[in-house]
Structure 1
């Protein structure tokens, strides 16, 4: 049996209706406390869950729809969100039994019933941490360890997998210890069930400390690979700033550790549990957010090119020629016009492009501005009634637009 209400003795029932703790000096017993604190805690939990859900939805859409790929870390993140939802539900149930209220404002019966849900919250937290940290580390491995580099030559490879192994082993042990913290389990929250229990204070402190250490490890692992990237310092700072969002996760872990110490050293257990729970929810939310941020630029680019603003800009912009709208993949790009000079050679007016069919003595070059242009020889043969087709000036033209012996040059000035 899992509830205290099975004990019908009138004296015991009267005892269970008594306050769970003694009030400090100047305070009095009151079971009619305001629910403002409970509502505030609920609003915070909802906010944390919404942030995690929205960020993971953006990541999943980007990976499946835009990038056309799905990796192991994506599955782990979905499982971690499921554990966050489970944590959210158990936190709500614990709040209904007195969490977010002081011990002298709840009954012993509510206190004991709430302990069961607090225990399940701890189980969900351990599983979540293992899933989300492994997902982030696998993502680091995919981003920062080149595929062509030998495993033996990559120190970062060993660091990442050593961290993964340590994380999995620790949280697996803590999960099982939290589930079977007492034998039988009911002895943890039911004072009328005799059993043998582990030292839950030591377990709570161990989980809190390891979480802080591992969060800071995940914060610093990508710093050195980013510094070594061959890019402008401004871009390096931007990339580091993206991963630095994880510092908020570290702050939440520190706060959770602080309230864990207060939880085990002070008597106002129900009040400290609620604050610890909010710090835990913040840490879980930003853990998922950190895993999502490397994918956000790709999603932002998609919105910029295909979102409502881009659609409105295309609708209000100048109408394109009927030729460009007739099934060409270049329909939305400016048209290109060709002309012949006095010697019979062709040149391009407007943006760089090409006219076809192309004689065999045509070559292209990339200018200082990064645009590909077509260079025509004075000896080119003329072709009557030619039609023009533009290619993207920032990309190499497709092979089927040119003759087989066409020479391509990316050297500026040639």
Structure 2
């Protein structure tokens, strides 16, 4: 049964001295347009770079499919955000919309929440599967493998459950977005607690995604300047970690206010940038391979090469047949079968074959196959 309600009245009583303005709410539509358009362009470019890189390698993997699915669902989320940017705009207040529009607003928020679970799951599973491919040698079941596998399946189970509970948290479902229904149905799911739990899981998984590559890279037998260069390729994860924390802050604000419209702008904005950064984590390492395939590849790729080498080859270290250090990681193309995925110009198993000191001491790697500096010589690097 619906309440007898004035749908033209303000959706919330305004503060003293404030006059509701339905025609020109205090929200900022232009900011919303800019965020939606810019994040959409960045996300599309990141996924396109990944797909082009895989096409160049003539090998598409599970991560590519997951990113395409995530991008498709993200388009739906972007449409919802764009719709609310038109009216009332981001950072609007609830007293500047009427009760009729509040129903539309809450329905769009519900759609955004439903979209978020599959998007986050696909991106994070893609990242974690890729980390397994890059950092764990085939057949190895070490601590890294168990951490990544555990986090992967926890994310899958959690996001499937939270998506279903978001869809069916009230019955009839109209109660989710229509606060003027009473005396029928129920909402047994505490959606606020669920949102906080989602944000906390994001924090844990984002922290792991940020820290895991750094933890592995800094254990490798490599010169410090090369470690810094390789770390740079993965540091974009810091963005997702930061945006996830800010998103959590705005969720907490929702617990202490009746004006749900204003903090929801913060949740929407930082969710968009968190997701966009997730696409970048997978897309940025693909750009060097694309640059190398371009007609002007040598000049373009040298820019990226400088990050991982820490120095450019000189006549001194290239003379007399000596290979410069960076050639351990940047080898000319050969006829041998290449890895299914490259991080920058790095072969997948250039990373996993460079053993840490602990692995060598424990006898899990054969020192005789290790070149100076910890990297295997190019002739010994084989993809299983």
Same fold at TM > 0.5 = yes
Distance 1:396 1:307 in 2: 17
- 1:219-254 CA-to-partner distances (Å, cap 9, x unmatched) read 111112212333332121111122111111111101
**Structure 1 Cα separation of the partners of residues 249 and 194 of structure 2:** 15
CA distance in 2, matches of 1:395, 1:309: 17
Conserved 8 A contact 2:93-2:259: yes
Of stretches 46-55 and 96-105 in structure 1, the one that deviates more from structure 2 is 96-105
Q: Distance in 1 between matches of 2:156 and 2:240?
A: 19
- The answer to whether the 8 Å contact 1:45/1:88 transfers is yes
TM-score, with structure 2 as normaliser: 0.74
Partner of 1:302: 293
Distance 1:157 1:396 in 2: 30
> 1:68 aligned to 58, 61, 76, which one?
58
Match of 1:266 in 2: 257
Q: 1:250 is matched with which residue: 225, 238, 241? A: 241
Cα displacement (A) at 1:137? 0.5
- How many Å apart are 1:57 and its aligned residue? 0.7
Q: Which residue of 1 aligns with 2:181?
A: 192
Residue 165 of structure 1 and its aligned partner are, at CA, apart by: 0.9
1:369 aligns with 2:360: no
For 2:64 and 2:270, the matched residues in 1 are separated by: 25
2:164 to 161, 171, 176: 176
Counterpart of 1:140 in structure 2 is 131
Instruction: Determine if the alignment matches structure 1 residue 287 to structure 2 residue 258.
Output: no
Alpha-carbon distance in structure 1 between the residues aligned to 2:333 and 2:198: 52
Please tell me the root mean square deviation across aligned C-alpha atoms, in Å: 2.9
**Are the counterparts in 2 of residues 259 and 275 from structure 1 also a CA contact under 8 Å?**
yes
Give per-residue Cα distances to partners, 1:9-30, cap 9 Å, x unaligned: 9x74xx1110011222342222
The alpha-carbon distance between structure 1 residues 370 and 247, as it changes in their structure 2 partners (threshold 3 A), is closer
Shift of the alpha carbon at 1:96? Answer: 4.9
Q: Distance in 1 between matches of 2:237 and 2:27?
A: 30
CA distance in 2, matches of 1:94, 1:397: 54
1:209 counterpart residue number? 200
In 2, Cα distance between equivalents of 1:78 and 1:290: 14
Does 2:151 correspond to 1:151? no
* CA separation of 1:187 and 1:23: change in aligned 2, threshold 3 A: same
TM-score (norm 1): 0.69
Compare relative contact order (CA 8 Å, sep 6+) and give the higher one, 1 or 2: 2
CA contact (8 A) 2:199 2:248 kept: yes
Q: In 1, distance between residues paired with 2:104 and 2:323?
A: 68
Say if 1:131 and 1:396 are closer, same or farther in 2 by CA, change over 3 A.
Answer: closer
Please say if 1:92 is aligned against 2:82: yes
Structure with the largest fraction of helix:
2
Give 1:32's match in structure 2, choosing from 23, 48, 55: 23
| Structure with greater proportional strand content | 1
Name the counterpart of 1:221.
212
Paired position in structure 2 for 1:335? none
Q: Report Cα offsets for 1:51-91 as digits up to 9, x if no partner.
A: 11111111111111x21110001100111111110111122
- Where 2:250 maps in the other structure, the secondary structure is helix
The whole-number CA distance in structure 1 between the counterparts of 2:116 and 2:59 is 28
What runs of 5+ residues in structure 2 fail to find an aligned partner? 302-318, 325-330, 337-377, 379-384
Displacement of 1:397 in angstroms is: 11
Larger radius of gyration: 1
Q: What secondary structure sits across from 1:300 in the alignment?
A: helix
Query: CA offset at residue 367 of structure 1?
Result: 3.8
Task: Give the paired residue count.
Answer: 310
